[in-house]
């Protein structure tokens, strides 16, 4: 339902998302499939609306983190293939098969469980094999002395009953990082991945239908890694170091408004702890936006938000439900004036850097009490409030 208050809200700019898709699709070429990563509610952008748009645009695959996320898409008319990148308990295999969901297989134990459950269900589970080439997280370990045992383990999984192996993939750890060491590490990961594929296919006597490894950094920097399908995350939503150079646009704008304005004399402590004290007569605006909405408290006294008169610095500690900005030299900003937290006028990349994090953490942190407004062709086509009312 729609929010009853024009308090703080996010605008999901579907035209920007479509623009980003087309730019990236042109970059990778017509022969490479496009997987849209929509886990974590499409990184706070709204998985259902984002997936509907990607499906309309011709996207080939979607990726989520869990079965719940996958089923949410299926029951909302998303028919694209969906890959679960994370863990699914073995007793949910029947639902994977029922909803035609592809599952990542990361080790022998998972392969055995999924195979046994699929046979019990009398169905076939489509899987993608995950290879750990240096992320040191999930996947068959194949580096160094583990190469032969890793290849044999993958081959064993492929041949298990009840499993249909469609693809194989890995994940780069530092493809988005600068420097020769990171370049060498990514190149090592890619060579190891392709060596594993070659060894498995020679023993298997068949080829994988989909080989994929190119995440955001690789799509921007390593075209040789595109293979059969790419998985751009940050780029799709128009954030990160590569977005500007590729001509991408941010897909979310977070906005609030001024609820109260008060003028304080010099020497006035602002907010909890008194970490900021006015050094002159100061006009302070109170915004209904705080850490319960997703505004990191670590940004207290460290960032600016955008007004019609330009950037306004955050003063004092960020509170649960509100924060304060300095409007001393902002004569056109009044009660009710719109303020952009991040978007096209106030870069989320800069805000994330000040917080010591990545843009994704800020978009994912936008809480359920912040309504989403989906905008296409200049009009709000749908609004979403995650609160139960």
pLDDT in tens, 138-189: 999 999 999 999 999 999 999 999 999 999 999 999 999 999 999 999 999 9
CA atoms lying within 13 Å on the CB side of residue 31: 3
* Catalytic positions: 39, 272
pLDDT for the residue numbered 388: 61
* Domains of the chain from N-terminus onward: 32-238 (3.20.20.10), 252-384 (2.40.37.10)
* CA angle at 174 for the pair 170 and 179, rounded to the nearest 5°: 145
SS3 of 266-315: the string is CCCEECHHHCEECCCCEEEEEECCCCCCCCCHHHCCCCEEEECCEEEEEE
Q: Are 258 and 335 in contact (CB under 8 A)?
A: yes
231 is in an annotated binding site: no
pLDDT of residue 241: 84
pLDDT at 387: 64
What is the reported pLDDT for 385? 80
What pLDDT was estimated at residue 240?
87
Residue found under tokens 């060596």: 195
Q: Report pLDDT digits (tens) over 280-331.
A: 999 999 999 999 999 999 999 999 999 999 999 999 999 999 999 999 999 9
What's the pLDDT at 27?
97
Which residues of the chain are under the pLDDT cut of 50?
1
| CA–CA gap between residue 86 and residue 75 (Å, rounded) | 20
E strands, 41-156, in order = 61-64, 82-84, 102-105, 125-132, 140-141
Residues 6+ apart with CB under 8 A from 72: 47, 48
52 is in an annotated binding site: no
* Residue among 215, 217, 255, 216 nearest 13 (CA): 255
């Amino acid at each position: 339902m729609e929010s009853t208050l024009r308090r703080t809200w996010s605008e999901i700019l579907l035209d920007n998302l479509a623009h980003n898709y087309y730019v990236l699709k042109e970059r990778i070429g017509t022969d490479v499939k496009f997987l849209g990563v929509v886990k974590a509610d499409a990184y706070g952008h709204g998985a259902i609306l984002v997936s509907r748009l990607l499906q309309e645009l011709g996207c080939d695959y979607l990726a989520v983190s869990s079965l719940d996320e996958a089923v949410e898409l299926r029951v909302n008319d998303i028919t694209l293939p969906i890959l679960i990148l994370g863990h699914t308990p073995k007793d949910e295999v029947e639902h994977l098969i029922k909803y035609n969901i592809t599952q990542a297989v990361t080790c022998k134990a998972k392969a055995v469980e999924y195979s046994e459950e699929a046979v019990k269900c009398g169905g076939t589970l489509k899987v993608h094999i995950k290879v750990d080439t240096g992320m040191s997280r999930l996947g068959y370990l194949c580096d160094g002395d583990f190469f032969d045992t890793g290849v044999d383990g993958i081959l064993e999984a492929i041949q298990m009953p009840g499993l249909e192996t469609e693809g194989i993939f890995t994940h780069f750890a530092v493809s988005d990082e600068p420097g020769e060491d990171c370049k060498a590490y990514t190149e090592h990961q890619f060579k190891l991945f392709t060596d594993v594929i070659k060894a498995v296919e020679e023993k298997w006597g068949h080829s994988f239908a989909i080989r994929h490894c190119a995440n955001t950094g690789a799509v921007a920097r390593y075209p040789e890694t595109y293979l059969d399908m790419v998985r751009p995350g940050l780029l799709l939503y128009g954030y990160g170091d590569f977005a500007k150079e590729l001509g991408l646009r941010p897909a979310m704008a977070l906005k609030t408004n001024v609820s109260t304005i008060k003028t304080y004399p010099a020497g006035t402590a602002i907010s909890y702890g008194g970490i900021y004290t006015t050094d002159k007569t100061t006009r302070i605006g109170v915004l209904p936006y705080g850490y319960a909405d997703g505004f990191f408290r670590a940004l207290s006294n460290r960032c600016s938000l955008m007004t019609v008169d330009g950037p306004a610095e955050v003063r004092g500690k960020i509170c649960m439900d509100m924060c304060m900005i300095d409007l001393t030299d902002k004569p056109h900003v009044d009660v009710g004036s719109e303020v952009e937290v991040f978007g096209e006028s106030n870069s989320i990349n800069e805000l994330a850097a000040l917080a010591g994090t990545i843009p994704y953490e800020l978009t994912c942190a936008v809480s359920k009490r912040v309504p989403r407004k989906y905008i296409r062709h200049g009009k709000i086509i749908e609004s979403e409030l995650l609160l139960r009312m």
